[in-house]
Amino acid sequence: MRLLKRILVTLLLVIGLAVGGFVAWANTPARPSAEAYAAMRSNDEVKVSLDAAGRLLFEPIGAQNGIGFILYPGGRVDPRAYAPLARGIAARGSVVVIVPMLLNLAILSPARAQDVVDTYQGIRAWAIGGHSLGGSMAARFARLHTREIKGLVLWASYPASTDDLSASALPVLSVSASRDGLATPAKIAAARLLLPPATTYRPIEGGNHAQFGSYGVQMGDHAATIPPAEQWRLVVQATADFLAQVANQP
């Protein structure tokens, strides 16, 4: 009996250490760059605020196109690291909401977009997207919420095999980078079977995985051959053009 008790205590200790280690790992996300912090300041084009649920809200000061864009961060990346891109998209007329995730992992809270839709009911239509793991979980939400979501944007990302969208009529944009060491061009190409045939693909020559945000170097990635600001510009342009098309749909 004493031996069994010791085994159980040891097992619980090991589990506790493993859980504690995982939580500590998840709670040390890649931090925003100075450029990301600068992009969180409101100006005469975009109002930036933090809502009651801790979501980053980027609102166009001028005319809005009626489309809201929900953005899921990449795994273990601080949501604020996407501020330069969110600001650029908002300046083109879309309200952008960056959603923080439980333990900085979208896979632990893929349905958080629902609360955004329920909270901001003045938005005519919603699109959802995300970077890397965030994009995969955005695809899951889009698959399960076809009434609420009118468009999907994938940045260096693709759906899981369990979230096959190949038979869907949902408009999808896939933005990838030639120097991406994680969502490699080969992986993006292989995932075409999981996306609708009408999916729009926008590869960025010289871009890499980390420059879909603004948080520095990422392990396993390749060095980009274009500056971060140039990659952000291309990602914003592709995304904003796609959202404008979604906005014009009946």
Spell out the domain ranges in the chain: 32-247
The pLDDT of 128-138, averaged and rounded, is 98
Of the candidate ranges 18-27, 119-128, 143-152, the one whose mean pLDDT is the lowest: 18-27
Q: How confident is the model at residue 1 (pLDDT cuts 50, 70, 90)?
A: low
Closest CA to 135 of 85, 171, 172: 172
Q: Which amino acid is at 122?
A: G
Give the three-class secondary structure for 52: coil
84-110 per-residue burial string, b: 16 or more CB within 10 A, e: under 16: bbbbbbbbbbbbbbbbbbebbbbeebb
Backbone φ and ψ of 93, nearest 5°: 115, -5
Would you say 172 and 196 are in contact if contact means Cβ atoms under 8 Å apart? yes
Domain topology for 32-247: Rossmann fold (3.40.50)
Confidence of residue 27 (pLDDT cuts 50, 70, 90): low
Each residue's pLDDT tens digit, 174-193: 999 999 999 999 999 999 99
Q: pTM for this one? A: 0.90
Which helix (H) or strand (E) segment is 246 a member of? helix 228-247
Q: Are 123 and 154 in contact (CB under 8 A)?
A: no
Using alpha carbons, list the distances in angstroms from residue 238 to 24, 185, 245.
Answer: 36, 18, 11
Q: What is the pLDDT of residues 195-247, one digit of tens each?
A: 999 999 999 999 999 999 999 999 999 999 999 999 999 999 999 999 999 98
User: Contact at 8 Å (CB) between 204 and 235?
Assistant: yes
What lies within 8 Å, CB to CB, of 32 at 6+ separation is: 78, 80, 81, 83, 214, 215
* CA–CA distance, 105 with 86 (Å, rounded to integer): 19
CA distance 117 to 147: 11
Spatial separation of the C-alpha atoms in residues 129 and 70, rounded to whole Å: 6
Place of tokens 């995932």: 191
Identify residue 63 by its one-letter amino acid code. Answer: A
What integer pLDDT is reported at residue 63 of this predicted model? 83
